[in-house]
Amino acid sequence: MDQFTVWDIVRNLLLATRWTIVLSVIAFVGGGIVGFAIMLLRVSDLRALRALSIAYIDVLQGTPLLMQLFLCFFGISLLGFEISPLVAASIALTAYSSAYLAEIWRGCVDAIPKGQREAAESLGFRFIDMLRYVILPQAIRIAVAPTVGFSVQVVKGTALASIIGFVELTKAGTIITNATFKPFLVYGFVAIIYFALCYPLSVWSRDFERRLRAAH
Amino acid sequence: MRYHFDFLAVLEYWPLLVRGALLTLVLTFIAIVFGTLLGVAGAYIRSARVPVLSAVVAGYVELIRNTPFIVQLFFVFFGLPSLGLKISAVEAALLAMTLNLGAYAVEIVRAGIESIGRGQLEAGEALGMTRFQIFLHVVLLPALRNVYPSLISQFVILMLGSSVASQISAEELTFAGNFIQSRDFRSFEVYFIISAVYLVFAFAIRRAFGVIGRFAFARR
């Protein structure tokens, strides 16, 4: 291999982009499921459950994603399991996303006027039914825009998986830079590809927000 | 297999950890100062709709917000030298952090400016103030007060993001961790302790800026 054409660089970056997308989807879906559960604890009536969920959110929002990746990668292998960078990154990014999504969604639930909850309670709704039939249908509408907005953070977060050796877009960029000595060109393309992934999500989220505001 | 945890082995390297932690705080503090100034300047340009400049700021904001910090850091650290600009790891980290915070701060401060009622601006105009005077004396302080909590959250995210600077060998807290890890292989203990330090820092930044805000935005 003596010469990398610009096309070679772009093609290899695009191939690696598939893994960025795969990891983003895993983290977003996993984070959504775990985050929803944490959000339920966060808005529940039991003080102990609320305290537990607050601690979970505070720890994950108060430590760097990079540390969470390292702790998953090294910590799980201490337990005696062989763990691949993809699995470690999936777990860490799921945990990271779940904390932020739980907090975002909690805000949406809180935005529903208190009277709604009290009305449901006075009608004898159980906690779960009150959420299901009264609060969530209204909260989901407000939640769409910030949730799509957060997906941008997830895509960008996958870039750190490169540090524990997972070959996605950023890692591919580093490998190609080491082979070509053209950091400006390669990282320029890397940035453009991330931008192409994230910008539509940003615009989409802003659109939802505007439409919601217009509807009121 | 049973693993024996040994946290004390890590703490033997405490001078290294302290030095790394200090650099993390210094990097964060300087980036906060310059990033916030950048954000205020950008927000003024955007909301005053200065021709050309306004579009440039909008492009900068979108570019930074839609690409990962680590790519911005690599771009600055590995990219600039190929343009003939020699730059140290710490300088690169500072530059990337400032540019990163600046972009988010533009949007946050802009939201604050938009929250100020029209009547305030009209009152300023009636007093014969120029547009810039109105911004400086009438709009800025209440605008910042309204969005201060979001700004603090962004400071915390910035501080946590600085751990990535270890990847260009800026000798901050995470770099110290990686160094210790490569010496005695106590990876879990090392990163556990360092995570705890970051957690304390995140808490401290929220508290410290909360107190600063109470003084800065005290209603006079």
ipTM: 0.92
What confidence tier does B6 reach under pLDDT thresholds 50, 70, 90? confident
Contact A202, B62 (CB under 8 A): yes
Has residue A3 got a pLDDT over 90?
no
Chain B contact set for A190 (CB, 8 A): 71
pLDDT tens profile B193-205 = 999 999 999 999 9
Has residue A1 got a pLDDT over 60?
no
Contact A150, A98 (CB under 8 A): no
Q: What is the mean pLDDT of residues B95-109?
A: 98
Whole-angstrom CA distances from B130 to A138, A152, B136 are 45, 39, 10
Q: What is the mean pLDDT of residues A76-93?
A: 90
CA distance A186 to chain B (A): 9
CB pairs under 8 A between A and B: 116
Task: Please give the model's pTM, rounded to 2 decimal places.
Answer: 0.93
Most B-contacting residue of A66, A175, A181, A185 (CB-CB within 10 A), to test interface: A66
Question: Which candidate, A169, A170, A160, places its Cα nearest to that of A96?
Answer: A160
Instruction: Write the residue in A152, A156, A187 that is nearest to B75 by C-beta.
Output: A187
**A164: nearest CA in chain B?**
B167
Question: Which candidate, A206, A21, A143, places its Cα nearest to that of B58?
Answer: A206
Has residue B82 got a pLDDT over 90?
no
pLDDT tens profile A158-178 = 999 999 999 999 999 999 999
Mean pLDDT, rounded, of chain A: 94
Contacts of B216 (CB under 8 A, 6+ apart): B144
